[in-house]
């Protein structure tokens, strides 16, 4: 009887392994839903749709992009967390994913409740001013701010946004003071910089670079450690007077915790292959994105953790509040 039970157990294990192999080989066998935490028309939405159009060739299934905006991407994140961990519901999320834990009481933990797939792109921010402002370099802005402490202001696309924290990082590293003016989105904030109603801003480069090229804005510097691929003529803030300055937003894909490793790896490989293609890569660069899919799921988890710690430190030091 004991031998019979052992044989049955062995057969059960063999069947389970075979079933697991079949399941891994069969993923995906239906369309995948990709949720974006911003409204249609923005940079995150544009990149999600570009990626969604390129992935069917790699995965053999359609990618359905679904916008669920609200609460600085929290609504979309909560929704994806509540879905089945089967690889068919994914979150396309920006740096807000790692910033929100320091600002809000959340119903989820970004490290425990999600399985990272990959980082799709890094998004440099672009320091811009109105052309009439008597500044042309980062050092000029610092000098002006020190000459008029607290009188200059900077716009962002919301409290706790990457643009907000980039501004606070700049003030912290230079010992200067400016007033933060938050807007509900990048477009109205950029419009007020164009109108001369706000001193400066650091929006995503894609939303401002053409305006700068058309002389409606002045591009001062990019926020990343390296110059932007699509605008190599614009210096970095680090090389322009604030050594070590390196701030960016980014786009990442996350799955609910517990999603099968086989599905995570399948997605990671497909995304990396898609972004490595010349056509998609150039489209991303044209929109101001720096393609960055060299990260494995493990490396993505490490990146997210480091970003979370970086922003938590700044939020605490600058006493930044969500309200």
What pLDDT, on a 0 to 100 scale, did the predictor assign at position 14?
A: 44
Higher-confidence residue of 21 and 94: namely: 94
Share of the chain above pLDDT 90, in %: 81
For residue 29, pLDDT beyond 80: yes
Which residue's structure tokens are 């009188």?
Answer: 151
CATH of 30-123+249-318, one of 2.120.10.30, 3.30.450.20, 3.40.190.150, 3.40.50.12780: 3.40.190.150
d(CA 38, CA 49): 12
Phi and psi at 26, nearest 5°, equal -85, -10
**Average pLDDT estimate for 15-44:** 74
Residues of the chain with CATH 3.40.190.150: 30-123+249-318
Candidates 21, 29, 16; CA nearest to 59 is 29
For residue 7, pLDDT beyond 70: no
What pLDDT, on a 0 to 100 scale, did the predictor assign at position 294?
A: 67
| pLDDT tens-place string over residues 200-243 | 999 999 889 999 999 999 999 999 999 999 999 999 999 999 99
d(CA 316, CA 102): 8
Phi and psi at 164, nearest 5°, equal -65, -50
According to DSSP, the residues that pair with 126 across neighbouring strands are: 222
For residue 165, pLDDT beyond 80: yes
CATH number of 126-240: 3.40.190.10
**Average pLDDT estimate for 178-198:** 92
What pLDDT, on a 0 to 100 scale, did the predictor assign at position 162?
A: 92
Which residue's structure tokens are 């493990």?
Answer: 298
Average per-residue pLDDT for the chain: 91
- Report the b/e string of 230-242 with b at 16+ CB within 10 A: bbeebbbbbebbb
- Spell out the residues 6+ positions from residue 16 whose beta carbon is closer than 8 angstroms to its own: none
First to last CA, the chain: 68
What pLDDT, on a 0 to 100 scale, did the predictor assign at position 72?
A: 87
Residues of the chain with CATH 3.40.190.10: 126-240
């Amino acid at each position: 009887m004991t031998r019979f039970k052992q044989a049955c157990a062995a057969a059960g294990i063999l069947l389970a392994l075979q079933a697991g192999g079949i399941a891994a080989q069969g993923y995906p066998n239906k369309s995948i839903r990709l949720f974006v935490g911003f409204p249609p028309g923005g940079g995150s939405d544009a990149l999600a749709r570009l990626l969604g159009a390129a992935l069917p060739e790699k995965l053999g299934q359609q990618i359905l992009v679904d916008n669920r905006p609200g609460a600085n991407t929290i609504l979309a994140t909560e929704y994806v967390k509540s879905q089945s961990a089967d690889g068919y519901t994914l979150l396309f999320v920006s740096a807000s994913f790692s910033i929100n834990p320091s600002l809000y009481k959340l119903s989820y933990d970004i490290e425990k409740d999600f399985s990272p797939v990959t980082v799709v792109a890094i998004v440099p921010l672009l320091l811009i001013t109105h052309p009439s402002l008597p500044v042309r370099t980062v050092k000029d802005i610092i000098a002006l701010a020190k000459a008029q402490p607290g009188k200059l202001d900077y716009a962002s696309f919301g409290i706790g946004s990457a643009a907000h924290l980039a501004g606070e990082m700049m003030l912290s590293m230079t010992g200067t003071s400016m007033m933060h003016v938050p807007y509900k989105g990048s477009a109205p904030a950029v419009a007020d910089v164009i109108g001369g109603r706000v001193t400066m801003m650091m929006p995503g480069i894609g939303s401002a670079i053409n305006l700068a090229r058309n002389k409606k804005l002045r591009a001062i510097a990019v926020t990343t450690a390296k110059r932007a691929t699509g605008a190599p003529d614009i210096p970095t803030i680090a090389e322009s007077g604030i050594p070590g300055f390196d701030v960016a937003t980014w786009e990442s894909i996350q799955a609910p915790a517990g999603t099968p490793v086989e599905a995570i790896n399948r997605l990671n490989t497909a995304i990396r292959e898609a972004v490595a293609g010349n056509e998609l890569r150039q489209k991303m660069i044209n929109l101001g994105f720096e393609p960055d899919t060299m990260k494995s799921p493990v490396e993505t988890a490490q990146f997210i953790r480091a970003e979370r710690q970086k922003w938590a430190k700044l939020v605490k030091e600058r006493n930044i509040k969500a309200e």
